[in-house]
Amino acid sequence: MSAPVSQIREPLITGHKTYHQITEDLISPTEKTPSFAWTVGFIISAIFLGLYVFSVLWTIYMGIGTWNLNRTVGWGWDITNFVWWVGIGHAGTLISAILLIFRQKWRTGVNRAAEAMTIFAVICAGQFPLIHMGRLWMGFFIFPYVNTRGPLWPNFNSPLLWDVFAISTYFTVSLLFWYTGLVPDFATVRDRAKGFRKKVYNFLSFGWTGSAKHWQRWESLSLILAGLSTPLVLSVHTIVSFDFATSVIPGWHTTIFPPYFVAGAIFSGFAMVQTLMLVTRTVLNLKDYITIEHIESMNKVILLTGTIVGVAYITELFIAWYSGYIYEQFAFFNRVFGPYWWSYFGMMFCNVISPQLYWKKSWRRNITLTFFLSIVINIGMWFERFVIIATTLARDYLPSSWSYYSPTWVEICLFLGTLGLFFFCYLIFTRVAPVVAVAEIKSILKSAGDQYVGKNAVHQHHHGDEHSEVESH
Amino acid sequence: MANHKEVIYGLYNDETELLRAVKAAKNQHIEIMDVYSPFPVHGLDPILGLEESRLHIAGFVYGMLGTLTAFLGMTWIFTKDWPVIFGGKPYWSVPAFIPITFELTVLFASIGMVVTFYIVSGMGPGITNNYLDDRITDDKFCIAFDKSEVSESDAQAFFQSTGAAEVNVKHIN
């Protein structure tokens, strides 16, 4: 808080808010009856969720044969969706953990919703490996529990098992981090509520009082959880990429995969955060808290990570050629010009070319363009995973077993269904919890509110004097 | 906190006023019971004389416990309990153990610290703690005195001189 604020920094909270107004603005969406837009969104999500439940039951009842996987293409839309959803989750942790460590104040406007997005995205991701098992009810076999068969253990040397540990740790830690941040805000909701609602929020707020010692521990805990989440989030997509990179399949067996997957994950995650934030700030009227400044900052991250991804694609092609190894060369030639050429070019266009528009400042600050591009990027990142998985598997060493894979209606419905699951959870979240971290916004008001910094500042000097006197660090 | 207490507390409108008042109380050697605020007020801890939280030490211990559980667990399973050769690799293939060892380190440290945080703070699902005023989680900053240690007249005088917006007395259990 006491860190000097650059004069050129734009305010992150507009509208000359007081502490009480912040409470009103951020808590009231949970207290009012839902808006028409919310209700429509919720009904649509619920329908898609229903479709999901039906497709899962159909898959379990009829078997995995209802998918179009075949002898060489053993992973199709399912694992594509898995990787896509896990990747989306990464932006939430980046915002909540890495930006906390870097003391980026703009994270406070979006971290709560982004963390919620992480949790729901990881829930969606986790569905696919489980359904893919076919016998869903034996899913617990993946965990090393003491059993009556020896005990017989899972293979700890397998990247698929590393994934089990990575995803479940990631989910648990993200949930703990998110909830710990929510506790003080639930207390704010509790203190405004009456009757049954008060009881519910009293339970959810864990008996929070706002005592100085609790805040001190809370800040210490948040910082350490951020410190732990930072390597964790990098490890999660690294391990997801190991699913491919530790295999001996040309096109998968590449050392560039871990950094390339992590950059792609953050890229797609930020695109999803943009999609959600642009809708949320409009529907819940949070434009004073999620400002153009926030959107521009996120677009800068999208530009950076999109460019890293682009460099990775080109490096892959170069290394394949440079290796002098014909199977590797063929794998990449096939990716670009093979039967799935359309997905490769879709990926290149959406992920590498489209974010380059963000070099122009006015375009980074254009809401319509941002919304449109955020969806384009999400489609592009889905294509990326499909390119890696399907094109590689469809052309293996034996031309006699080459095949082509396209999904059945069940696979398509499963994917659309997880979108329903995701938005269903997110919409409930916007009704139950404040979507912007109330306490954290209040803590940056004096250093980022537009009455203190920027063009419209009214008590800037006054504020500076006060703080140099009382603050020690 | 278990026994019956009478608390006199003053509410301030701004954290700078709160910090000034806490400083004044320290200078006048008035025993502060607790300070409550809607968000973490930076610079408060040293004035209040709060020691640094030791939660990070607990976190380190839990993390180490996770590291050892994972690494020794996998070592025992793959060298003693049920050795299996995977792809001609040694039983004790340390590099392959690194990802899971790392994940469990993070998992143990996080769960352990969060649980410790709630236990030492006397919080948890279903727990109701006494809080002095509904507006403390909104926009009021509060200094509380225990009436058995600070007389009401002293407290009133203190709150008046430091510009508290409101002074109240409350019984808490």
pLDDT of residue A105: 83
Q: Could you tell me if A212 lies within 8 Å of chain B, comparing CB atoms? A: yes
What's the mean per-residue pLDDT of chain B? Answer: 88
Q: Could you tell me if A218 lies within 8 Å of chain B, comparing CB atoms? A: yes
pLDDT band at A460 (very low <50, low <70, confident <90, very high): low
pLDDT band at B116 (very low <50, low <70, confident <90, very high): very high
ipTM for the predicted complex = 0.92
State the average pLDDT over residues A51-75.
91
Range with the lowest mean pLDDT among A164-168, A446-450, B62-66? A446-450
State the average pLDDT over residues A338-342.
91
**Whose CA is closest to A425, among A116, A36, A52, A29?**
A116
Cα-Cα-Cα-Cα torsion B150, B151, B152, B154, nearest 10 degrees, comes to -80
Cα–Cα distance, B62 to B110 (Å, whole number): 8
pLDDT in tens, A411-438: 999 999 999 999 999 999 999 999 998 8
Q: What one-letter code names the amino acid at A379?
A: I
pLDDT of residue A348: 93
What's the mean per-residue pLDDT of chain A? Answer: 88
State the average pLDDT over residues B11-20.
88
Range with the lowest mean pLDDT among A123-127, A181-185, B81-85? B81-85
Cα–Cα distance, A66 to A142 (Å, whole number): 24
pLDDT band at A84 (very low <50, low <70, confident <90, very high): very high
Cα–Cα distance, A27 to A442 (Å, whole number): 13
Helical H runs in A133-256?
A: 159-192, 195-204, 212-245
pLDDT of residue A5: 59
Cα–Cα distance, A313 to A310 (Å, whole number): 5
Is A469 a residue whose pLDDT tops 80?
no
pLDDT in tens, A208-239: 988 989 999 999 999 999 999 999 999 999 99
Residues A236-253 as b or e (16 or more Cβ within 10 Å = b) = bbbbbbbbbbbeeebbbe
CB atoms under 10 Å from CB of A353, counted, come to 13
pLDDT band at A92 (very low <50, low <70, confident <90, very high): confident
Q: Which of B56, B99, B136 lies nearest to residue A166, judging by beta carbons?
A: B99
Smallest Cα distance from B151 to chain A, Å: 22
State the average pLDDT over residues B4-27.
86
Which residue is closest to A441 within chain B, CA to CA?
B39
Q: Could you tell me if A233 lies within 8 Å of chain B, comparing CB atoms? A: no
Is A2 a residue whose pLDDT tops 70?
no
Range with the lowest mean pLDDT among A63-67, A443-447, B116-120? A443-447
Cα–Cα distance, B53 to A307 (Å, whole number): 41
Question: Which of B35, B39, B129 to mutate: most A Cβ within 10 Å?
Answer: B39
Write down the pTM of the prediction: 0.91
Bridge partners of B143, per DSSP, are: B10, B35
Smallest Cα distance from B79 to chain A, Å: 12
Task: Specify the DSSP class assigned to residue A151.
Answer: S
Is A463 a residue whose pLDDT tops 70?
no
Q: Could you tell me if B129 lies within 8 Å of chain A, comparing CB atoms? A: yes
pLDDT band at A7 (very low <50, low <70, confident <90, very high): low
Is A464 a residue whose pLDDT tops 50?
no
Task: Strand B5-12: give its sheet, edge to edge.
Answer: B34-36, B141-146, B5-12, B166-172
Residue spans per domain, chain A: 19-146+171-465
Helix, strand, or coil (residue B35): strand
Question: Which of B110, B113, B134, B172 to mutate: most A Cβ within 10 Å?
Answer: B110
Q: Per the CB < 8 Å rule, is B104 touching A209?
A: no
Find residues 44-103 of chain B whose CB sits inside 8 Å of chain A.
44-48, 50, 52-53, 55-56, 59, 63, 73-74, 77-78, 81-82, 84, 86-87, 89, 93, 96-97, 99-100, 102-103
Structural domains of chain B, ranges and CATH numbers in brackets: 5-51+128-172 (3.30.70), 55-120 (no CATH)
